[in-house]
Amino acid sequence: MKEKKLKYTLISTASVFCFLLIWYLIADVFKVFPSSTFPSPFKVATAFVRKLTVTTPDGGTLGKHLIASLKVVLLGYLLGIVIGVPLGILMGWYRRVDLIVKPLFDLIRPIPPVGWIPLMILWLGIGIQAKATVIFVSAVTPAIINAYTGIKQTNPVHIWVARTFGASNFETLLKVGIPSALPMIFAGLKVSLGASWMALVAAEMLASTEGLGYMIQMNRMVGKADNIMVGMITIGLVGALLTYILETLEKKLVKGGRNK
C-alpha cells in the first residue's frame, strides 16, 4: 500500500507543476495573449510582492485591503451565526416557533444575498454597515437551515431516555438535542463562511472604497490583470485558512468520532 500512496502524491505534484508550466508557456513563451491581460505566474508573484508595499493603483496595500475585508466579513459572519444558529435550534425544537418563524424565513430565503446589496447601499450608503448587513443576510440563512435540520435529526430514542429520567423539555434540548446536532451545525458554519466570503466580494466590487473586492475591481478598470490575480489568490487563501480554523475547532468540540 505504501508505494501506491507515493505514486499518487508524485502524480499530483507533477500535475500541479504541469498546470503552472502550461500557464507559463502560454503567457511568456508563446505570448498567446498580451501579458497585461494574461500574466505569467512569475509576473503574478512579483506583483504580489510589490503589492505588499505599494498603494497604486487602488489606494491601498494588500494588507490594508485584507484587513478592511476581514473586519467587515467577520462582523457580518459572527452576527449571522450568533443569531442564525440559536434561531435554527429553537425553530427545530419548539413546534410553535417553527410554525411562526419558518414561513417568514422561507419567504426571505429565496432572494440571493447579492440581491440585497442595492437596497442596503441605498439605505446605509457604501460604508461598513451596508456591507456588514449584506454579509449578515448571506451568513444567517445556511446557519439557520443546518441548525434546524441538525435538531430535527435527533434520535427519538435519546429523547425518550432523557424524558424518562425526568429531564424537562428544555433540559433535554441542552443535553440531547444540541450535542447530537453539533456536526450539522458545524457544517452550517462552513457553508455560512463560504456564503459570507462570496457576498463580501460582491459588495466590495459594487460600492466600496477599500477591501479586496474593491482592489480587484479597481485593477480591472486600469487593466492590470496581475493585481487582479493577486487579489483573487489572497481571497482564496484567506477563505481556505478560515475554513481550516473552523475544521480544527470542530475536531475539538464534536466528540464520539462523529466528525469523520
Select 54 or 237, whichever has its Cβ closest to other proteins. Answer: 237
Q: Which of residues 44-73 bind other proteins (CB under 8 A)?
A: none
CA atoms of 41 and 232, how far apart (whole Å): 13
Verify binding: residue 21, other proteins, rule CB under 8 A: no
Q: Which of residues 85-144 bind other proteins (CB under 8 A)?
A: 99-100, 102-104, 106-108, 110-119, 121-123
Select 81 or 215, whichever has its Cβ closest to other proteins. Answer: 215
CA atoms of 243 and 191, how far apart (whole Å): 9
Sign of the CA dihedral running 221, 65, 199, 191: positive
At its nearest, how many Å lie between other proteins and the CB of residue 98?
A: 9
At its nearest, how many Å lie between other proteins and the CB of residue 123?
A: 6
Q: Which of residues 188-227 bind other proteins (CB under 8 A)?
A: 194, 197-198, 201-202, 205-206, 213, 216-217, 219-220, 223, 225
CA atoms of 215 and 208, how far apart (whole Å): 9
Residue 255, SS3 per DSSP: coil
CA atoms of 123 and 138, how far apart (whole Å): 18
Q: Which residues, 6 or more positions from 37, have their beta carbon under 8 angstroms from its beta carbon?
A: 223, 225
* Residues 115, 214, 198: CA angle, nearest 5 degrees: 45
Q: Which of residues 142-171 bind other proteins (CB under 8 A)?
A: 157-158, 160-167, 171
Are 75 and 132 within 8 A, CB to CB? yes
At its nearest, how many Å lie between other proteins and the CB of residue 100?
A: 7
Q: Which stretch binds other proteins (CB under 8 A): 24-32, 55-63, 84-92, 176-184?
A: 176-184
* The only residue of 240, 245, 247, 249 in contact with other proteins, by rule CB under 8 A: 240
Verify binding: residue 175, other proteins, rule CB under 8 A: yes
Q: Which stretch binds other proteins (CB under 8 A): 9-17, 43-51, 64-72, 75-83?
A: 9-17
Which string of DSSP letters, residue by residue, matches 234-253?
HHHHHHHHHHHHHHHHHHHH
At its nearest, how many Å lie between other proteins and the CB of residue 39?
A: 11
User: Cα 116 vs. chain centroid, distance in angstroms?
Assistant: 18
How many residues touch other proteins (CB under 8 A)?
78
